[in-house]
Amino acid sequence: MPEPRNVTARDRASGLGGATILPLELEGVVFEAGGQTLIHALSARFNAGPRTIVLGPNGAGKSLLLRLCHGLLRPSRGRVIWHGRQDGHGQQDGHGHPGGERLDRAGQPGRETRRRQAMVFQRPVLLRRSALANVAYPLALRGMARAEARARAAEALARAGLDGLAGRPARVLSGGEQQRLALARAWVTEPEILFLDEPTASLDPAATRAVEELVLQIHAAGTKIVMTTHDLGQARRLAEEVLFLHQGRLIERSPAAAFFAAPRTPEAATFIKGELVI
């Protein structure tokens, strides 16, 4: 069982015997849908290490950005590059597929790369099986033997404080418990990077706190965190680095302390004051 400590991705990668997938580089990524440009020529680099919060008002394109990074959407133009290697089929025709794609016989792009990532959505999508089985599921997908998968899943549940609920049907758990279960499921595969899309937007404060603590734990164990939120307080609590998005553009990027103390752009300043950014 991995001890929570400040492990860098490179440390772990050498332990795994395979190349790390970080840094993640976005080069001029554009996303268009329904005749509109929703993400404008966005370039950014995500290194291992700091907890990165993607901040911005609703409709800024934060969720789209996460999905483009994770490969759930393909950019209309531009490139998504993991550790110097282009992601799967992303470069071939550059057509975006908004709204999710059907699986096709050519398979999913960059599957190996995808396996070292994980994502938690605003509303957790859990399978109709027990909590333990849900957490063991991604391990089973990777061909792990059933007994070992269940043992690791049990550990992950314990780390998430859910071990008492292992045998319960996942769908009867409370909202907060389900989200922590989703986190445990994401964590059990020891991803290098974890994307979180407004994970606490639907939760009450107590559940939100439990989720935030879990995120901190996961980060401490060595996973890069990239999380979106429109909640200033949450950003202040969790961010080590802030990317501020507005109307599909990356307006500002700074270390957290600098961002909250002295935002460089008027939009960021307006947002931090708690006012509407039009």
Partner 1 sequence: MDDFGHAFALAFELIVRLDADLLEIVGLSLQVSLTAVGLAALIGLPLGAAVALFRFPGRVAVAALLNAFMGLPPVVVGLIVYLALSRAGPLGVLGLLFTPAAMIAAQCLLVIPIVAALTAQTVADLHEEYDEALRSLAAGPGQALLTLLWDGRHSLLTAVLAGFGRAVAEVGAVMIVGGNINHATRVMTTAIALETSKGNLALALGLGVILIVLALTINLAALALRDVARAQHA
- Rank residues 170 and 251 by Cβ distance to partner 1 and give the closer one: 170
- Rank residues 127 and 220 by Cβ distance to partner 1 and give the closer one: 127
- Rank residues 125 and 257 by Cβ distance to partner 1 and give the closer one: 125
Q: Give the position of tokens 């957790």.
A: 124
CB of 148 to partner 1, least distance (A): 18
CB of 226 to partner 1, least distance (A): 13
Which amino acid, one-letter code, is at 105? R
The contact set with partner 1 (CB under 8 A) reads 67, 70-72, 100, 102-105, 107-108, 111, 114-115, 117-119, 121, 125, 127-130, 133, 137-138, 141, 167, 169-172
- Rank residues 51 and 185 by Cβ distance to partner 1 and give the closer one: 185
CB 82 within 8 A of CB 21: yes
CB of 171 to partner 1, least distance (A): 7
* Measured CA angle at 87 (ends 111, 24), to 5 deg: 110
Helical axes 205-220 vs 175-187, angle rounded to 10° = 10
Helical axes 131-141 vs 146-159, angle rounded to 10° = 130
CB of 270 to partner 1, least distance (A): 32
CB of 82 to partner 1, least distance (A): 14
* Radius of gyration for the chain, computed over Cα atoms and rounded to the nearest angstrom: 18
- Rank residues 141 and 262 by Cβ distance to partner 1 and give the closer one: 141
CB of 102 to partner 1, least distance (A): 5
Taking the mean position of all CA atoms in its chain, how far away is CA 236?
18
CB 136 within 8 A of CB 185: no
Which amino acid, one-letter code, is at 165? L
- Rank residues 171 and 273 by Cβ distance to partner 1 and give the closer one: 171
Integer angstrom CA distances of residue 239 from 25, 235, 253, 272: 20, 5, 12, 14
**Bridge-partner residues for 55, per DSSP?**
229, 244
